[in-house]
Structure 1
């Protein structure tokens, strides 16, 4: 298809709490992606950096920051910010440059050095931002937000804390097989149940951590890929970065009350579902064509929401999928074979890029012990602050 771009290289810096600059994580990830692609740094014509608001001025000009760290060589630079969707916005920017004929080879890089504890809003007062209002007016940190979703699922769909725990068990088992993951130990349902309550009904092991890490991709035109000897590369076929639809200006905030008497079915499809739908439409595929998915499991309960939003099952069917093992490695449609945020934690500008790295390795058949047999198509999905969300479809 004319809208395809090739993924020539994928690379990461392992996630953890390393206490170093995000620039180092990005540089290592970029070098790994270049080596994976068999491309020399001077061959890169453009660098797109996913910004981090926690890295000072260098974080706001990430494209130039990473280009400098790799060594000035004249490449075009672009920097983008879209909270959790920053990495996918960077991929989309790179793809647009390639399809417009502005560059044949583009390096996409995202990295972060996250603070300990909960993320807080950055950038001053934003009274028109529902997420800022959630923090400032309600005092609802992210785990509280996640817990409200979980309570809604329990009230509307009958999900249980035991269902949520199965998501952590599944993702920890996959993360134990991933050398880039921060947490590489299997977790039992009993361990989830015994961990501290953070925001009822979610416990510590139901919620993702904040992490340091980096991820990078080398993208190219299909013509360049063929000249480079990549006859059948992984291809990015669609990137969705749609916004919510008016008049639903408040982004899927659940009812503040969590009693089952007032928790009702949402009136319209969620913002997250619209993100995935736009990606499917552009790619010309549907959920039944997927081999795997990488979704933003900020909490175990939110992963179940994603099953429904990307069309793997009807509303309320997520818990049944995880109970039957359909979304585990070896299941019908593995979700988060990388281990997900449960195993990595959030390194915000890197994570959407890391999701595409996982699709790349899976579609190449090089994911090792976590390989999804015969993988041919995959989707990534995430949601970030103030209407920033994304989905990427990759095929082989």
Structure 2
């Protein structure tokens, strides 16, 4: 792993030349249509002709049929064949960040000086279901088919765990939604652009106790895209001080599976479960900080993966904004709201966008870029100089991206 001193030299940095999005919602079109809109917007923002791009990395969507499984080639074809290399990446909810990582590796290896990264989805109504029939090796299939536990079920279990361990309350969870809705109301790409009150959150339908409808993100159509390049290419094309990606962490858990001790037959002792020594999500953030040569105190803002309001509080702790069990205190005091010491989900988060799986980690980096450029409009974080975007996918996939200016 790169040391902090080495990371600070910029040798592993790449530039963000362009960002683009298709507004998120329920539009009823192909994911390809959304991705092309986002890609063209990113190219326009970068001031580059499509023919100048030497590589396309697509974040896959398993719900898009075969075109979704080969998203890199699908987007390259839709934009017009011009000889670029193509790469397609799938990592569940971390697909977008893994696509960014693949693009970065190509740039740093000298395989391409400018790379287009695209993620787009046309999501089904309701909560995601596994695709492709019976898949007994798929944790989602097992949860849905064997346990009957769709995503909100484990969101609720996680919330209950926080209540039991740390004393969090449903009112604390509601404050997260209130905060993110206020930010989303200022974001023209967000699906939900209406502020809500704690009373409205409490009055929404119970989905998985203690979480209510407004505590849980929706599923959406949408797209996001980035044009990434080497720093040398950026300077040659007039970007003297671009936003830079200084670190991308895509680690796996320390223990991919829970380890069970065999029972002591002589004493009939109970099975003991050995827990990992630290959080998988915290490991992702630590690795990114180490590579970037910065720490939580250096952040101006963070974009975190808020599938539920309770999960956002956990991320505060995992990325080092506070100690274990102190996440609710930050949201109560307004620390993570726009205008607070360290705004979290200044773009509105999944609470305001909903899940468009291949696009969401890319959308996080779009928001960091706009904030670090100072072009985020009414939701601008004053003096933003560094940010982190974090997400977690199925089967040990996860990511943390650090951007600086």
Aligned residue number for residue 116 of structure 1: 125
Counterparts of 2:24 and 2:100, CA distance in 1: 20
Q: Which residue in the other structure is 1:173 paired with?
A: 182
What residue number does 1:341 align with?
350
The offset of 1:270, in angstroms, is 1.4
Partner of residue 259, structure 1: none
CA contact (8 A) 2:258 2:274 kept: no
Other-structure match for 1:350: 359
- Residue in 1 aligned with 2:165? 156
Matches within 5 A, 1:17-28: 17-28=26-37
**What's 1:249 paired with?**
257
State whether residues 207 and 342 of structure 1, in contact with CA within 8 Å, keep that contact through their aligned partners in structure 2: yes
Q: Deviations over 1:129-186 (max 9, x none)?
A: 4444332332111000100000000001000000000000000000000000000010
Q: Which residue of 2 aligns with 1:184?
A: 193
1:292-328: per-residue Cα shift (whole Å, max 9, x none)?
A: 0000100000000100111111110000000000000
Deviation at 1:267, TM superposition (A): 6.2
Which residue of the other structure, out of 14, 19, 22, is the alignment partner of 2:23?
14
**Where do residues 92-131 of structure 1 align in structure 2 (5 Å cutoff)?**
92-131=101-140
Distance 2:399 2:95 in 1: 9
Output the CA distance in 2 between the equivalents of 1:318 and 1:129.
Answer: 32
Aligned to 1:80: 89
- SS of 1:385's partner is coil
Task: Please give the TM-score of this superposition, normalised by the length of structure 2.
Answer: 0.92
Q: Is the 8 A contact 2:301 2:384 kept in 1?
A: yes
In the alignment, the residues of structure 2 paired with residue 358 and residue 221 of structure 1 have an alpha-carbon distance, to the nearest angstrom, of 20
Distance 1:181 1:334 in 2: 17
> CA–CA distance in 1 between the matches of 2:309 and 2:349?
10
Q: What 5-or-longer segments of structure 2 have no aligned partner?
A: 1-9, 260-272
Whether the aligned pair in 2 keeps the contact of 1:156 and 1:265 (CA below 8 Å) is no
Partner of 1:207: 216
Instruction: Indicate if the aligned counterparts of 1:26 and 1:66 stay in contact, CA closer than 8 A.
Output: yes
| Paired position in structure 2 for 1:380 | 389
Query: Conserved in 1, the CA contact under 8 Å of 2:301 and 2:343?
Result: yes
1:204-283 paired onto structure 2 within 5 Å: 204-246=213-255, 249-250=257-258, 268-283=277-292
Q: Alignment partner for residue 300 of structure 1, among 294, 309, 315?
A: 309
Q: Offset at 1:241?
A: 0.8
1:193 is the counterpart of 2:205: no
Once residues 205 and 383 of structure 1 are traced to their aligned partners in structure 2, the CA distance between those partners, rounded to angstroms, is: 21
C-alpha contact (below 8 Å) 2:129/2:140 kept by paired residues = no
Alignment of 1:282-297 (within 5 A): 282-297=291-306
User: 1:196-255 CA deviation, whole Å, 9 max, x = no partner?
Assistant: 000000000000000000000000000000000101000001111111112x5149xxxx
SS at 2:294's partner residue? Answer: coil
1:61 pairs, out of 52, 59, 70, with 70
| Rg comparison, structure with higher value | 2
What is the RMSD of the two structures over their aligned residues, measured on CA atoms? 1.5
Q: Matched residues in 1 for 2:275 and 2:345: separation?
A: 26
2-side partners of 1:102 and 1:271: how far apart?
Answer: 32
Kindly indicate whether the alpha-carbon contact (under 8 Å) linking 1:130 and 1:250 is maintained by their aligned counterparts in 2: no
